[in-house]
A and B are shown apart, each in its own frame.
Chain A
Amino acid sequence: MTADSGWRRLLRNPMAMAGLTVLGLILLLALFGPFLAAHEIDEVFWDRIGAPPDFAAGFYFGTDANGRDLFARTLAGARVSLLVGTAASLISLVIGVTYGAIAGYLGGRIDAVMMRIVDILYSLPFVFFVILLTVYVGRSLSTIFITIGAVIWLDMARIVRGQTLSLKQREFIEAARAFGATDRRIILRHIIPNLWGPVIISMLLVIPDAILTESFLSFLGLGVQEPNTSWGVLIGDGAQNMMETPWMLLFPGAFLALTLLAFNFLGDGLRDAMDPKE
């Protein structure tokens, strides 16, 4: 019944529903991109290098510096970027929250060891880490997930641990213990549900971070390989030519901004829906 009223609150929140609708539309565009675009993502039009939008010819967003249809490429990029963003936030949700809550709740030596591991991972130079992984895992899209996944949950773990430390002092946690709840039950049923506010916020902050990290990795040649693309790659290319051909930055950038905005509205709605006091 908790979940029911939570969902009802979410469904009644217009901003959250607008966010959800926009995300749904972007997802549909990403999935059905190949059918909507008039051109292939790797088809080069030698007569239209860096051309502005031309609706009649099917170049709705213009073309890139290599004469390829930007509309098709933006939709193709959406797949990779949405996948990376979602995967990153799920990883930080599952690993970061569990890890942080366990460290904070158990405390003492276990907490010290767990948080030093986080510190070590944090202090590893990212590029060095990427090179190491490339050597062992090889270059593929899964390298991106592993690389981003390995570092993205660290912030979440720290935030959750800090919140858990203060939550642990609250009387209702001691009450749960006094009524025979196991540590596992206290963490899952009492600590984590009381962490939703900060958790959802940091989950959302992770998404742009992951999308931009992916473009950096792709730039290093580790992630998405040409002719496939992602928003991060498109924005990177567009930014180099923004004075001459602004549409190359504008369209992928607008999609990224719209997605993040929609995620934020949805996240705010989720946070409110999870809080029974709202």
Chain B
Amino acid sequence: MTTPDDLLRVEGLSVDFPVSGGLWGRKRAVHAVRDVSFTLSAGETLGVVGESGCGKSTLGRAVLNLIRPTAGRIWWNGSEPAAESLERQRLLRREMTVIFQDPLASLDPRMTIGAQVGEPLDIFEPALPEDEKRRRVAAVLERVGLSADAVGRYPHQFSGGQCQRVGIARALISNPRMIVCDEAVSALDVSIQAQIVALLGDLSREMGVALLFISHNLAVVRQISDRVMVLYLGKVMEIAGRDSLYGAPRHPYTRALLSAVPVPDPDVERNRRRFHLIGDLPSPLDPPKGCVFHTRCPHAVDRCRTEVPDLSGLEGRHHVACHLWRELEFSPSPA
């Protein structure tokens, strides 16, 4: 199954969080991620989009082995980390790193920038001479656009955008093969967002780092991703190449998401067709039977309420989980 260029392969991944039902209540579980499968090739950027609470971040944390999946298997570079010793799993953290959403909160307030960026080196290359370590910290800081005198300063002395650059430097210093960007730009100003996304894109291309780019921002995902995966209530709705997904979305949920993105041109914005969703996001404690999206889907038929749609492949690498994708009228996204 695993092809040689698959850096990461996830199959049937599910993550449940137990919720206590009070003293007499029965034990229930939040199904944060359900039966998610995808692959990521070396150097590729996979965007993961969806509403808040759809399991994007949980997926990222499970891939990083920060939380234990309830079911499913993850292959990294052809082997399964879960089957290896804890020490081996820890050493893998050198190859897959992470950039967090809140740049300031993810940095230790009592540690200098230099010490934090250099920490992965302390952990994985303890024999590295001090001046070599300093040189590499300075080099990576320069690469992300920070001056060398940042080394001796503390996180609170920096702006959000600068802190996120520090976070990127920390994620890069061990020369990883994949970086999970968990809403890495959502906490930043729009102008800073663009800079950081451009930086991430450059770094990914130059260094051949694969990115798992988790975001709710469709425009940002479109800018940076090679492929995009759409999640709803922990399930994959659609996964396709970027142009295929944005140009010809097949799943009603993807269409609704895309049509919610405002278009800068007022004439287009006024006249374009919108797909409106009805109702609220159902509780992940008690997800709908059948297709999870049927409660809000304008096209839902009886079959959708009883039968879970498989991810079916279209042309290319476009997959969609919908019973009706063949029948639904195809209209290119107005954006």
| A193 and B110 form a contact (CB under 8 A) | yes
Is residue B94 within 8 Å, beta carbon to beta carbon, of the partner chain? yes
Partner of B97, one of A2, A178, A193, A274: A178
Give bound CA distance, A180 to B66, whole Å. 10
Closest Cβ–Cβ distance, residue A43 to chain B (whole Å): 54
* Minimum distance in angstroms from A272 CB to a CB of chain B: 13
Of A175, A181, A189, the contact of B106 (CB 8 Å cutoff): A175
Beta-carbon nearest neighbor of A196 in chain B: B110
Measured between C-beta atoms, what is the minimum distance from B186 to chain A in Å? 14
B221 CB within 8 Å of chain A: no
- State whether the Cβ of B115 lies closer than 8 Å to any Cβ in chain A: yes
Q: Are A171 and B109 closer than 8 Å at their CB atoms?
A: no
Interface size class of A (residues with CB under 8 A): 20 to 34
Interface residue from A172, A182, A274 paired with B107 (Cβ < 8 Å): A172
**Other-chain contact of A179, B105, B115, B156, B170 (Cβ < 8 Å):** B170
- B102 at interface, CB cutoff 8 A: yes
In the complex, how many residues of chain B place their beta carbon closer than 8 angstroms to a beta carbon of chain A?
29
Assess A175 versus B124: contact at CB under 8 Å? Given A180-B91, A276-B110: no
Residue of chain A at shortest CB distance from B64: A178
Task: Please provide the chain A residues from 54 to 98 with a CB less than 8 Å away from any CB of chain B in the complex.
Answer: none
Task: Find chain B residues with CB under 8 A from A196 CB.
Answer: 110
Q: In the complex, A190→B111 CA distance in Å?
A: 8
Given contacts A171-B102, A175-B100, contact A189 B111 (CB under 8 A): yes
Contacting pair B93 A277 (CB below 8 A):
no
Say whether A185 faces chain B, with CB atoms less than 8 Å apart: yes
Q: Name, among A170, A180, A181, A274, the residue most crowded by chain B CB atoms within 10 Å (CB to CB).
A: A180
24 A-B Cβ contacts within 8 A? Answer: A2-B110, A2-B112, A5-B152, A171-B105, A172-B109, A176-B108, A176-B119, A177-B66, A178-B66, A178-B93, A178-B97, A179-B93, A179-B123, A179-B170, A180-B90, A180-B94, A185-B123, A189-B111, A193-B111, A194-B109, A274-B110, A276-B154, A276-B156, A277-B156
User: CB within 8 Å of A: which residues of B?
Assistant: 64, 66, 90-91, 93-94, 97-98, 100, 102, 105-112, 114-115, 119-120, 123-124, 152, 154, 156, 170, 174
